[in-house]
């Protein structure tokens, strides 16, 4: 028994030592797993997922200018009336992410008629459902989904799982505000993003959201 425990302990020490020596390669792989990028397609629309203003909308504008789609989809997030009233009482005009994204697009030359405002959504899964429902009603069959690098693998999984009607989907992470894959663990903000994204991936695999 003692000999078995000694051998097991030795194996664990060797494994721990190997992981320590290869820690940088492992950490790079951990970050890289979160990044997925589909080949770009010419699509009916460019859907900007909520969050990370202005990096996602800037990427969407670039794609629109390059002619990959004739329109941009934006989804208002659900507002917080109490917070808005508080900001107003302090003399501050509260701007939702949706309003900021729309203003940026207009200021960058995207015509108002090229901005499609979809129903609001509270999660990536809800956003996917809203996008697919809206496209089905319009008869559109292809979409480029713009998100952030750390969010792109989970986005692809969710959109593929909810794609019931053969819509062509290209998940495209923004080039603005990119992850530093070779050193993300040295940045507190990016470390938190990676940690929370893995928590959400676990939720996806275990609970489907």
What is the tens place of the pLDDT at every residue in 64-98?
999 999 999 999 986 677 878 888 888 888 788 99
> Residue 158: how many CB atoms within 10 A of its CB?
22
Report how far residue 209's alpha carbon sits from residue 203's, in angstroms, rounded to the nearest whole number.
Answer: 6
Domains of the chain: 33-207 (3.40.50.620)
> What span, in angstroms and rounded, lies between the C-alpha atoms of 107 and 105?
5
Residues of the chain with pLDDT > 90, as a percent, come to 76
What does the pLDDT look like over 153-168, one tens digit per residue? Answer: 999 999 999 999 999 9
Residue (of 169, 202, 136) closest to 47 by Cα position? 169
pLDDT of residue 180: 92
Q: Decide if 171 contacts 36 (C-beta within 8 A).
A: yes
Q: Please give the structure tokens belonging to residue 31.
A: 């970050």
C-alpha 18/C-alpha 109 separation (Å) is 54
Are residues 168 and 41 in contact, defined by beta-carbon separation less than 8 angstroms? yes
> Distance between CA 80 and CA 86 in Å, rounded?
10
Q: What is the mean pLDDT of each run of 10 residues along the chain (209 residues)?
A: 54 51 85 97 98 96 98 87 82 87 98 97 95 97 98 97 96 95 94 95 85
Does residue 152 contact residue 178 with C-beta atoms inside 8 Å?
A: no
User: For residues 120 and 77, is the Cβ–Cβ distance under 8 A?
Assistant: yes
């Amino acid at each position: 028994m003692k000999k078995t425990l000694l051998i097991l302990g030795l194996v664990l020490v060797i494994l721990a030592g190997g992981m320590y020596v290869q820690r940088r390669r492992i950490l790079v792989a951990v970050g890289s797993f979160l990044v997925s990028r589909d080949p770009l397609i010419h699509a009916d629309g460019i859907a900007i997922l909520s969050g990370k203003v202005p990096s996602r909308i800037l990427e969407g504008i670039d794609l629109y200018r390059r002619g990959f789609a004739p329109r941009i989809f934006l989804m208002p997030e659900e507002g917080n009336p109490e917070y808005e009233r508080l900001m107003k009482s302090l003399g501050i005009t509260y701007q939702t992410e949706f309003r900021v994204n729309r203003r940026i697009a207009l200021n960058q030359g995207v015509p108002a008629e090229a901005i499609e405002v979809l129903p609001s959504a509270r999660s990536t899964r809800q956003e996917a459902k809203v996008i697919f429902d809206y496209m089905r009603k319009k008869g559109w069959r292809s979409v480029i989904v713009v998100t952030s690098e750390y969010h792109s693998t989970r986005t692809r999984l969710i959109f593929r799982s909810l794609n019931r009607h053969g819509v062509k989907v290209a998940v495209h992470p923004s080039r603005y505000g990119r992850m530093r894959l070779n050193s993300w663990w040295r940045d507190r903000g990016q470390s938190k993003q990676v940690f929370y994204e893995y928590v959400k991936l676990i939720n996806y695999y275990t609970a489907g959201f």
